[in-house]
Amino acid sequence: MLFFNLSAFYFFYFAAVAVYIIFMPKVLHDIGYTPSQIGIVFALAPLMRFATPFLFLKHIKLNATIFKSSLLLSILSAIGFYFTLDNFYAFTLNNALLGICLSLILPYIEVIALKELGKDRYGKSRLYGSIGFMFIALVLAKFLSEPQIALHYYLCVTILIVIFSLLLLKHDVPHEDTISSKPFSVLEYWPFWLSLFFMQMSFGGFYNFFTIYETENGITLEMTSYLWSFGVICEIAMFYFQAPFFKNNLLGIIKISIFVTAIRWLLLYLFPDNLYITFFAQSIHAFSFGLYHSAVIIYLYKIYENKKLAQQFMYGVAYGLGGFVGALVAGWLYGENLFLYSALFALTSLLFVTIMKEDSTK
């Protein structure tokens, strides 16, 4: 039952992510938002992800009560989309509320998943998130005839996220929050945190503008949804078969994943209208997200004793600050050179991770 509940949580959580990152930018673009406004809207939620973990260093304890509050706020935020969509400022503030919720929900569940399933079964549960992402990518592309439809989908999956999150709370045992006498420090592994930041920054153009970028280069919206889905299929395969990789050095895996990600962005820059090459570039998602994400999660789980806070900061620094800056920069730089800049950000990430000592994973 635990495996089922975790898998269902991942399925619906990343179904919501698919609505948010694949279709919401297109919705905003179609109702008149400028690329710069789209960048700002989708930058504020990651910014909140970055800021929120700092409250938990000393002032607040991430417990079941805080977690339940974040679930309630996530539903209120989803409902708020209906009333704020046509107002840039109100919609932006609503995204900030959503960012606070996301900074708490997924890291909380990730610690439960790693503790209960271990690194060998974690990937097999997490792959259902990729299935949920792909399902929405395929289905919503066929039915998105007006903006309200995307909002309906988002609200429904958010309610299901809350249901399965509450079912998983019984596995949140006290010793998960145990904090050692050694204080949590980002500075102790600062090159790694900077690498996380630049890696996620490189995804700014992809997550916020890939759909727009491809459709403006002659690819239909339906075919673009197939491109998203193909990348996720490759990601699913990686999640299922990745366990043997983690018997090797984790930093080495992370370096390889970052390097091939840089190649991926270069291919999108050089061949934006070539379907064969774009499909190949999407296949690299198996490494640039599937393998990379799991390796980072496990690496942080091993090197930090305060595991919930480590996961919070991972989502805060990478998906939060990196996503925030990446979205802003992508909005400002949007054009034919967008993915060239993304490749440069990925290479910067690789530079920082090479500074890490190999024995830090032991």
pLDDT of 274: 93
Residue 97 confidence (pLDDT)? 87
- Nearest-angstrom CA–CA distance, 42 and 98: 11
* Rounded Cα gap, residues 295 and 276, in angstroms: 29
In this predicted structure, the answer to whether residue 355 has a pLDDT above a threshold of 90 is no
Q: Does 361 have pLDDT greater than 50?
A: no
63-110 pLDDT per residue, tens? 788 889 999 999 999 999 999 988 999 998 898 888 888 778 988 888
- Rg of the chain (C-alpha set): 19
**Hey, what are 103's tokens?**
């900074």
Q: Is 333 left (phi over 0), alpha (psi -120 to 50) or beta?
A: alpha
- Do residues 100 and 52 touch, judged by C-beta distance below 8 A? yes
- Does the structure show a pLDDT above 50 at 175? no
95: CB partners within 8 A, 6+ apart: 41, 42, 44, 45
Average of per-residue pLDDT across 306-334: 83
Q: What is the rounded average pLDDT for all residues in the chain?
A: 85
Angstrom distance (rounded) from CA 311 to CA 104: 10
187 pLDDT above the threshold of 70: yes
- CA 245 → CA 121, 250, 292, 335, distances in Å? 13, 8, 11, 37
Residue 14 clears pLDDT 80, i.e. is over it:
yes
Side chain identity at residue 62, one-letter code? L
171, 172, 178, 165: which is closest to 69 by C-alpha? 165
**Cα-based distances in Å from 166 to 69, 126, 154, 205, 243:** 11, 18, 19, 34, 28
pLDDT in tens, 223-246: 988 898 898 889 889 988 888 888
Residue spans of beta strands (DSSP E) within 197-288: none
Q: What is the pLDDT of residue 58?
A: 64
> What pLDDT, on the 0 to 100 scale, is given for residue 275?
93
352 versus 335: the higher-pLDDT residue is 352
- Say what the pLDDT of residue 258 is: 97
Kindly indicate the confidence band of residue 181, based on its pLDDT and cuts at 50, 70 and 90.
low
> In the predicted model, is pLDDT for residue 148 greater than 50?
yes
**pLDDT at position 359 over 70:** no
Q: Are 209 and 25 in contact (CB under 8 A)?
A: yes
Q: 323-333 vs 190-201: helix axis angle to the nearest 10?
A: 40
8-state DSSP, 19 = I
* Residue 194 scores a pLDDT above 60: yes
- Amino acid sitting at position 121: R
Mean pLDDT of 289-318: 84
Q: How confident is the model at residue 182 (pLDDT cuts 50, 70, 90)?
A: low
If residue 126 lies in a helix (H) or strand (E), which one and from where to where?
A: helix 88-143
Report how far residue 52's alpha carbon sits from residue 320's, in angstroms, rounded to the nearest whole number: 9
Convert the pLDDT of each residue in 262-287 to its tens digit: 999 999 999 988 999 999 999 999 99
